[in-house]
Amino acid sequence: MIGQLSGTLLNKQPNELLIDVAGVGYELEVPMSTLFALPEVGQAVTLRTHLLVRDDAHILFGFATVVERKLFRALLKVNGVGAKMALAVLSSMSVDEFANCVSAKDVSALTRIPGVGKKTAERLLVEIADRLEGLGIGSQAMPLVAEMAPSSAEQEAGEALAALGYKEAEIRKMLKAVVEQATDSASLIKLALQQAMRR
């Protein structure tokens, strides 16, 4: 099992990274929370990882914190929740926010996550409540990445939201509400997701 990677960040885009580790390029899928915490391309980076082995592929997932990886693994154990949905959860809310939703049995907040219907949300609340106690959840404040090119910030934010499963009409509405509040795509994505969770 590959538990951690340290190397040079070669490329980053919504949900996907390429890291050079001693001359070997590793592709990783990551939640948006991890993307926000990354340094600039060309800088050194260390991520905790989870390797998912399927019949047709070996997929490596990367996380900025140990507790994010713990929650990802806990989510995978819930019936009907796959890696894509687990990433969507971590991309839509912090670990602490998710724990608060579970504690408050807030089904409506969970159904705002792309791909999570009412039945899945209810199943999450039931099946993961006991597992959260062992996650060591605390404050997971992470810095945002430095500014990206402002000329394409809105387009990059839109592509990231689409990758998370939001529809085009939803994306336009989400970005319209926050576009005046930020100039870089990382901040736009974060603000748009926060706005969506408040609805």
Per-residue pLDDT of the chain (199 residues), as tens digits, is 788 999 999 999 888 999 999 999 999 999 988 988 888 999 999 999 999 988 888 999 999 988 899 999 999 988 888 999 999 999 988 888 888 888 888 888 899 888 888 888 888 888 887 777 666 553 333 333 333 333 367 777 877 887 777 877 788 778 878 877 777 778 888 888 887 777 6
Q: What is the pLDDT of residue 141?
A: 35
Nearest Cα neighbor of 192 from 183, 147, 179, 142 is: 179
Which tokens is 13 given?
């885009």
Domains defined along the chain, listed by start: 4-63 (2.40.50.140), 66-135 (1.10.150.20), 150-198 (1.10.8)
Query: What sign for the dihedral angle of Cα 80, 52, 192, 173?
Result: negative
Instruction: Look up the pTM and report it.
Output: 0.67
Q: What angle do CA 98, 121, 157 make, to 5 degrees?
A: 60
